[in-house]
Chains A and B, each alone.
Chain A
Amino acid sequence: MIEFEATYFDGKSSKAYPVSIVSDGVQVSVWGDEGQALRYLPLHQCVITPPMGNVRRAIKFPDGAQCETDDLKAVADLEEYIGSNQGMKIVNSLEINWKMAVACLGGIIMFVWIFTAYGIPFMAQIATPLIPSVVTEKVSQQALNMLDNNFLQPSQLDLKKAEQISLLFQNLCKEAGGDFNYRIQFRKSPRMGPNAFALPSGIIVMTDELILLAANDNEVRGVMVHEMAHVRHRHGIRSVLQNAGVFLIVSILVGDVTSITSVAATLPTVLVEAGYSRKFEKEADREAGLYFIKKGLNTTDYQSILMRLGKDHAEHPGLSLLSTHPETQERVKYLQSLEISTPPPSPPRSGEG
C-alpha cells in the first residue's frame, strides 16, 4: 500500500487542495483533508510526469486534474506499477550523477572526433553518387559563371598553344577511360595567378598563367591528372556534403549559444573543412604521382611545378583555390616517398612464367 500527501488541482481553477493519496498498485484514491473521497480510479489511467532530480512530480488524471507531491519515493513506487517513463528514468539517472556527466563530456568529444574524421566523409561518399548528374552539371555551370564574373577573364593564349594543350588533355582522357565527361577550358586570371581547378561536372579550368609557368608537357600533365582525380573521385560534391555535415554538428553543439558567441564557433568549422580538403588534395597528388610512376617515369617534373606554384602563391596572398593545398614541401616529400614505395612497372617481356 502506497500512501502520501499531495496538493490537488482540479484543472478547472487554480485553487490548491491539500490531499492524501492511497494506492494498492491497481486503484488510486484521493482523499480531502476532511476525510472526504475526491477521486477513485484505476492507476493505469494516470500519467506521471518524468523524473528530474528532486523536482516535485505530478500525477495527472484523464480529465485534466492533477496531484503534485514532493514525496518522490512514493511517486517512484507508483511509477513502478504503471511502468511508464522508462526512457526518462535512464536520462534522469545520467543527469543526477557527476561521473556520468563527465563520461558524457568525454563521449561528446569522442563522438565529434570520430564522426568528423570518419563518419561524415563515409556518409558523403555514399550519398554523392545519388546526386543526379543534371544537378552536378547545373551547380558547376553556376560556379563557373560566378568565377567568370569575379575572377576570370577570357583566355589570351595563342591558338596553337591552346590546341596543343587540348590535345594533351584528350590523350589523358583516353588513357583514363571511365564515363566521365572531362572538358578543359582556358581562362586568364591576373587575380588568381597560375592555378587550375576542377568542377564536379568534369570541367577543368586552367589559367593562362599556369600554362606559361609550366616548363614542359609533363608538368602540365601532372596538373591535369591531379584535377581529373578530383573529378573522378567527385571531390567537389563530397566536400559540399561534408561541409554540410560539419555545419550540422556545429549547430547541434552551439545550439544554445547566442549569435555573438557563435562567431567564435566558426573557427573549428574552418579548421575541419581545411582538413577535409587537404585529404582530397593528397589523394589527387597520389594519382598524379602514380600516373608517372606507372609509365616508368619519375615525378620530378610534377614536383617542380608544385614548387613553382607554391613559391608563386606565397608571393600572391589573397584569393587562391590552391591555398587549401598542403604545404608544398610536404607534398613534394609525399611524392618522393610514393616513388620509393611503389615498384616501377616490370619491364616488357619479363613475364611471370
Chain B
Amino acid sequence: MNEEHIAQEAVAIPSEPMRYRLEFTGTTEEYFRIWIVNTFLTIITLGIYAAWAKVRTRQYFYAHTGIGGHSFEYLANPTAILKGNLIIGGGFILYTAAGHYHQLAGGIIAVLFSLILPFLFYKTLRFYAHNSAFRNVRFRFSGTLGESYRVFLFLGLLIPLTLGLIFPYWSFRQKKYFFDNFAFGTTKNSFTGSVRTFYNAYFMASMILISILMGVGIVVYFVLQNFPPSEYGSHVFLIAIPIMYAVFLIGSVLIQQYIYARISNYCWEESTLGTIRFQSTLNPWQLIRIRVMNILGILVSCGLLIPWAKIRKTRYILDNLTIITQGGLDNFTAEVGAEEDAVGEAATDFFDLEIGL
C-alpha cells in the first residue's frame, strides 16, 4: 500500500520542476521609433490616434515578453479605447467648465467622480485582463464590484481617520484584490500573503526617509552656520529651491521603488496559479538606481529618452520574474467571456491613477 502510494506520487510529480524566466526582447531603437510615430500621429490627429497608440505600445511590449519561446498578446480594440477616451475627456471638460462657472458645481462633479472611481478601477482590471492573452488563452479578472468599493472607497476613507496607520493595510487589500482574483483561462490565481510584510516594508521605507531628512537637515545646519543667508539676500532661494526639489525627488523615488520592489517580490512569491509558482527577485537599490537615471535622462533629453527609460525599467522588472511549473504550460483551459468596455481603462489612464498592480 505504502509503496504503491509512493509510486503514484512519483508519476504525478515530475522529478524536476521546470523554471522559465520571462524574456524581454524589446529594444530602445525599435521602441523609440514606435513611440515617435505614435506621438506624431496622436498630435496631428489632436488626440484621436491616442487609442491606437496605446494599443500599439502595449502590443509591442507584450509581443516582446516571452515565456519558453511564446510571447504574450494584447488584444484590445482601439475603437473601444477611443470611446472610453471620449467619455472621460468629455467628463473632464465638463468638470473644468463647471469649475469656471461655479465652484460648487465643480465640487459636486469631483465628489461624484470619486464615488465612481472604484467602479472604474474594477472595469480597468477586467478590461486589462480580458485583453491580455498567452498561447491564445485570455486572462480574466473575477474580483467583485462590492470588494472594489470596500477596498478603494471604504478603506480609503478610513485612512485620514486612522492618521494613515492603516495605509499599509490598504495597500495589502489592493494587492490582494488583484492577486487573489486574476485568472489565466479557467485557472484562478490564489494569494496567500499576509499584511505583515506590507507593514514591514512601509516601516523600513519610513526609516529610510527619516534618515535622509536627518542627513539633509544636518548638512543644511552646517551650511547655515558657516554661510549665513544674510550674505546672499533673496538669492538664497535660487539655490535652495532646486536643492529642495532634488531632495524631494530622490526621497520619493527612494521610498516608492523600495516599497514597489519588496511588495512585488512578496506578492509573486505568495501566488499560486494552478501548478505554477512565481519568483520575483527585484533588488530595491537596483530599481532605485534605474529610476533615478531614467528621470535624469528624461529631463536632460527634454523627453526624448522616455522610450529608453521605459524599456530599461520593463527589462529589469521582467528579467527578474521566474515562473516555476510542475506540469508544463500546455494544460491551461480557456474560458469564453464577453467583451469588456474600456471606460474604466481610459479613466485610470487619463488621470494617471494608481491601481494596485
Contact = CB atoms under 8 A, between A and B. Distances in A.
B101 A135 contact: yes
A56 B35 CA distance: 20
Contacts of A9: 135-137
B20 to A, nearest CB: 13
Interface stretch (A107-115, A221-229, A328-336): A107-115
B295 A53 contact: no
Interface residues of A, number: 53
A104 B334 contact: no
Given A52-B63, A101-B32, A112-B43, A13 B331 contact: yes
Given A91-B56, A111-B43, A253-B39, A13 B101 contact: no
B6 to A, nearest CB: 30
A142 B36 contact: no
A101 B56 CA distance: 16
B290 interface: no
B103 A142 contact: yes
Contacts, number: 138
Contacts of A38: none
B3 interface: no
Contacts of B41: 91
Contacts of A252: 39, 42-43, 46-47, 50
Q: Is the interface of B mostly helix, strand, loop or mixed?
A: helix
B137 A14 contact: yes
Given A96-B33, A104-B37, A259-B352, A138 B101 contact: yes
A260 B64 contact: no
B332 to A, nearest CB: 4
Given A12-B334, A107-B44, A100 B37 contact: yes
Interface residues of B, number: 53
A108 B134 CA distance: 35
Contact of A253 (B43, B96, B135, B333): B43
Interface string A47-78: 00110110110100000111010000000000
Contacts of A100: 33, 37
Interface in A66-106: 66, 68, 91, 94-98, 100-101, 104-105
A264 interface: yes
A257 B303 contact: yes
B100 A142 contact: yes
Contacts of A13: 137, 185, 330-334
A22 interface: no
Interface string A309-336: 0000000000000000000000000000
A257 to B, nearest CB: 6
B56 A52 contact: yes
A101 B329 CA distance: 39
B80 to A, nearest CB: 16
A257 B295 CA distance: 10
Contacts of B136: 9-11, 14, 58, 64-66
Interface in B39-58: 39-44, 46-47, 50, 52, 56
Contacts of A215: none
A261 B39 contact: no
The 8 A-B pairs at the shortest CB distance, nearest first, are namely A9-B136, A104-B40, A14-B332, A14-B135, A55-B63, A101-B33, A15-B330, A94-B37
Interface of B: 30, 32-37, 39-44, 46-47, 50, 52, 56, 59-60, 63-64, 70-71, 73, 96, 100-103, 134-137, 184-185, 249, 252-253, 295, 298-299, 303, 306, 310, 329-334, 336, 352
Given A52-B59, A95-B33, 19 more contacts: A12-B333, A13-B330, A14-B135, A16-B330, A55-B63, A91-B52, A95-B37, A96-B33, A98-B33, A101-B36, A104-B39, A104-B40, A111-B40, A138-B101, A139-B101, A142-B101, A252-B42, A252-B43, A260-B249
